[in-house]
Amino acid sequence: METWIGLMSGTSMDGIDAVLVSFQGKTLCTHATRSSPYPEDLRQRLILASQNQATPDEVGELDTLVGALFADAAEALIRESFADRPSIRAIGSHGQTLRHQPSGPARFSLQIGNPSIIAEKTGVTSVGDFRSRDMAAGGQGAPLVPAFHQHYFGSKTEDRCILNLGGIANITWLPSDPNSPVTGFDTGPANALMDAWCQDQTGRPYDEDGQWAQEGIVDQALLSDMLSDAYFERPAPKSTGKEKFNLCWIRTLVQRHEEVRPEDVQRTLLQLSVITTVRQMPQSPTMVVYVCGGGTRNRLLMKELAQALSPIRMLSTAELGLDPQWVEPTAFAWLARQTISSLPGNLAEVTGARGPRILGAIYPA
């Protein structure tokens, strides 16, 4: 049986998720999973690099270090699952995004985590650099997971909206009508701002279950100021990241509002994620929203989202057969399969590219 490995580290920069999966048509089998946290010193270096606080030497070193950690994650997954190495067709690695600039005179998206190191250390053909070709074709290079969402989660009987709550939130609209287009884009921050503010104010990398936010109240004036950001009104296709929604973004706005308690800022940031996500969803009372990503572990965020969406149903992607934590790494295993099979991996109507493109670069074993 042919299997595939997917490796993913998102904008939260907390570590590497790895999956071993197999595909038979639209049937997917998850054989093994593994999460490998980044060492804290490396995580801090990555955060600084993502804020343009790194020399070329530093970026090059991080590319090598992250590549080695991605390779180690794949190796550990293979070892712990007793996988038959020759049956693993390829590893699809998203890499670690440092900067994503989909607009301007010289657009780019920079992911580090050298795939050559992954192929060399594992002895398995690896696929990386998925975003560049879409951008070369005029696209945003993101989001790329909607093509996988369409393949695996699409339904002929139910309108579905797949909501991914990573550092950045993105949605994929999957209409049941085959004549209606699939759409998808980044709505704005999900966990990125909450994590950044929590780290800055408490020293903790994230607000577990939203407990700190629960202690605060929404500051309506601050929330209104946050919602005035032009990104939220920009039409799709669009994508964003920490280069925009970061600690500096929060501080700039908080300085305009005197005597806002830190916990109130946290609660307001959570409400910002809820409002901007729900407002940008398709207006379909019959749709069902299926949620995935790290944000599903924030109980307060999930509670507020469910209330904001009511009476629209909100369920986990687990109801569709895939645990919410493993949707994105599985998507990159599937994208590697598309690349190896010389099949397109993007949805041009989502990214804005001039057409479907075969994504990624192949690094033979």
Q: CB under 8 Å, gap of 24 or more: what pairs does 217-222 form?
A: 217/264, 217/267, 218/264, 218/267, 218/268, 218/271, 219/257, 219/260, 219/264, 219/265, 219/267, 219/268, 221/257, 222/253, 222/254, 222/257, 222/260, 222/264, 222/265, 222/268
**Which residue numbers belong to the known binding site?**
10-17
d(CA 121, CA 114): 11
Contact 212, 202 (CB under 8 A): yes
Query: What value, to the nearest 5°, has the Cα angle with vertex 241 and ends 238 and 244?
Result: 95
Counts for the chain of helices (H) and strands (E), in that order: 13, 12
Q: Which helix (H) or strand (E) holds 186?
A: strand 183-189
Letter for the amino acid at 42?
Answer: L
**Antiparallel, parallel or unpaired: β 361-363 and 160-165:** unpaired
Instruction: Read off the tokens for 175.
Output: 């209409």
How far, in Å, are 156, 182, 183, 286, 350 from residue 179 at the CA level?
11, 9, 13, 17, 16
SS3 state at 214: helix
Q: Distance between CA 114 and CA 130 in Å, rounded?
A: 13
Tokens of 247: 């600690």
Annotated binding-site positions for ATP: 10-17
